[in-house]
Amino acid sequence: MGSKYKLKETLRLSLSLAKATFRLRIEGSYLGILWYLLNPLFLFLVFMMIRQSSSLATGVMFYPLYLFLGIAAFNFFRATISAAIASISNNPNYIKSTNMVSPESLVGAAVLQHIFAHLFEFLIISFLVFYFSLSAVGLFYYLLAFSCFIIMVIGLALIFAIVGVYVSDLENVWAIVSQLLLLGTPIFYSASSNSLIYKLNFFNPLFYFLETSRSLLIYGRLPETNILLIFLISAPLIFFLGVFVFKRYKYKMAELI
């Protein structure tokens, strides 16, 4: 009962904090909600132009959807982890000046804020699905796969939030890592299953969601069994690892910010 109430409270507060941050970002700006979409849209346009004038991913079916799925997943992953890194260290007031804001809710707010943002990307994905006359049922399966990805990302966000307190320049490190992820993950190109880059991607959490969502939406089938299994098993494992690490170090972190 106690932990159920605590979880409900954490979710309620995460939602309020996420709403406030979301409003802060979209208000007072002529571009408003477009701020969330500009980054993926520009990347999309750049890669589409590169493909027009090169032989990039020539054999890929429905390339605009293939590309946008990759960009949307990458954008959600990059932005959520980036917000999680700052969630604790940039909010010492919430951590030290009161006991009414649980640190978990700050990380929850970082994740929720980018789930809201992903909904706008989902609208573009839906548009592309209808544009290419693909099965709309795939969109439902996409949301299921995205829910699983959220579980994985929450676990990682909890870990990064804690490490962000201990390592002051983690945001800079993450900026470099996310550049490597953008280039190393098959977002705008396709990697054959016997290539080195494909094998390296087995260590990349983003890769599993990407493969799953593309299989479901573009090809209308499940991904390869090993990819699906690793995705479904690693998501809860990473989530519980995140919860464990966060619980273990959360008292220490108040002393460091």
Residue from 226, 9, 208 nearest 105 by CA: 9
The residues near 160 (Cβ < 8 Å, ≥ 6 apart) are 81, 84, 85, 170, 174
* Closer of 165 and 230 to another protein (Cβ): 165
Longest dimension (CA), the chain: 60
Which tokens hold the place of 187?
A: 């977002």
- Nearest Cα to Cα of residue 216 among 208, 202, 74: 208
Name the one range near another protein by CB under 8 A: 99-107, 134-142, 199-207, 231-239: 99-107
The stretch near another protein (CB under 8 A) out of 21-29, 49-57, 111-119, 127-135 is 21-29
Select from 21, 205, 209, 2 the least CA-distant residue to 105.
21
Residue 3 interacts with another protein (CB under 8 A): yes or no: no
Q: Of 3, 4, 100, 225, which one interacts with another protein (CB under 8 A)?
A: 100
Question: Which of 168, 179, 195, 226 is in the footprint of another protein by CB under 8 A?
Answer: 168
CA distance 209 to 214: 8
Which of these, 157, 159, 148, lies nearest to 212 by C-alpha position? 148
When asked if residue 8 is in the footprint of another protein (CB under 8 A), the reply is: no
Q: Say whether residue 45 binds another protein (CB under 8 A).
A: no
- Among residues 84, 88, 47, which one has the least CA distance to residue 174? 84
Q: Figure out which of the listed residues 55, 98, 192, 194 binds another protein, where binding follows CB under 8 A.
A: 98
* Whole-number Å distance between alpha carbons of 137 and 130: 11
Q: Which of 96, 199, 247, 248 binds another protein (CB under 8 A)?
A: 96
- State yes or no: residue 179 binds another protein (CB under 8 A): no
Cα end-to-end distance, the chain, whole Å: 32
CB of 99 to another protein, least distance (A): 4
Binding footprint of another protein, residue count (CB under 8 A): 30
- Asked if 247 interacts with another protein (CB under 8 A), we say no
Q: Which of 34, 46, 50, 93 touches another protein by CB under 8 A?
A: 93
Copy the structure tokens of residue 2.
Answer: 């106690």
Q: Does 193 interact with another protein (rule: CB under 8 A)?
A: no
Name the residues that contact another protein, by CB under 8 A.
9, 12-13, 16-17, 20, 23-24, 27-28, 93-101, 166-170, 172-173, 251-252, 254-255
